[in-house]
Amino acid sequence: MRIAVDALGGDEAPGEIISGAVAAARLLPDNEILLVGDEARVSKYLDEKPDNLSLRDSGGAVGMEEEPAAALRARPDASVAVAASLVRSDESDAVFSAGNTGATVAAALLRIGRLDGCRRPAIATVLPFSSPMLLLDAGATTMCRPQDLLNFAILGSVFAERYFGIETARIGLINVGEEPAKGNDLAKESHSLIRDSGAVRFVGNVEGRDIGSGVADVLVTDGFTGNVVLKTAEGVSREIFSMLRSAMTSGTATKLAAGILRPRLRGLRDQLDPEQYGGSFLLGVKGSVVIGHGNSHARGVENALLGISRAGSGLSEALQKALDQSHARSAGDGT
């Protein structure tokens, strides 16, 4: 695969972004990494680089505080816009950016375009439970229609099967109760639509308390709810680790116990670290687009690029095929 990397996007750019890209390039010798950024700034961090890593010149980054659409209109040569344009011109298969999330989504929609039949894209994020789970939408589309959630279910199913290596993904709809009649109008109508579509393996509603229980491989919801779920999960995990740290350093006996448990706890901490997966896929656009955390360090960037490679080339084609099949089935049913 050819992966364009926004070298200037993110709080730790360009140094950490470039370090992660270089590490990934060495682990992926059959892939091509294209660093996109101001050549004068980026080249200072490239004393030695792998043969499969090259540099594409661009303007500066879109700042975290800037209004995305306005910034892209004013500066069409911004690094994230140039990186997205490489996908549109078929010079790259994927783009990664840890910069302004809104700018990455806008650049993907304006420069790459949506898949046919997909009104709105979704941010798909891996929740690192004992059995990893995909959550979408995590914030791209806060106002959804039932058809959007069906599309998210289809996109998430295809992606999870490729990314997790499972045969048939189980799809759950986040709701306030298990019964089909529970929830608001969006939840009730989406439940019926997904259940009757025949497009995915639907396991029904999933309540918040069951999100980490492994009842589904993919959780579908609107972007507002999904973002709250994601941020809550991240915040709770940090708080639990803080409480564990305090409890295990409160006395001599607990410090001795902490020394014994430290390797296990370190492994658990790494599993829950957002940089374990490095980024979230924007599904519904014509190319692989991955949005990294704003404070991504080299490890997160490296893992994000490895994840793009794991999802594989031809992802958008597979997603488009699944959407087309669903729409053809609906047309055949007269729905």
Residue 146 in domain: yes
Number of domains in the chain: 2
SS3 sequence of 88-144: HCCCCCEEEECCCHHHHHHHHHHHHCECCCCCCCEEEEEECCCCCEEEECCCCCCCC
What's 113's domain CATH number? 3.40.718.10
Same domain (yes/no): 262, 293: no
**Mean pLDDT, rounded, for 296-305:** 93
* Residues whose CB falls within 8 Å of the CB of residue 34, separated by 6 or more in sequence, listed in order: 2, 3, 4, 5, 53, 54, 55, 56, 83, 86, 91, 92
Q: Is the pLDDT of residue 267 over 80?
A: no
Residue 229 in domain: yes
Mind listing the pLDDT tens digit for each residue in 8-33? Answer: 999 998 999 999 999 999 999 999 99
Pair 63, 10: CB distance under 8 Å: no
Mind listing the pLDDT tens digit for each residue in 180-226? Answer: 999 999 999 999 999 999 999 999 999 998 988 889 999 999 999 99
Q: Which residues span the domain enclosing 140?
A: 127-274
What stretch of H or E contains 53? strand 53-57
Residue 58 in domain: yes
Q: What residues form DSSP beta bridges with 281?
A: 124, 290
Residue 182 in domain: yes
Residue 279 in domain: no
Residue 31 in domain: yes
Rounded distance, CA 25 to CA 163, Å?
20
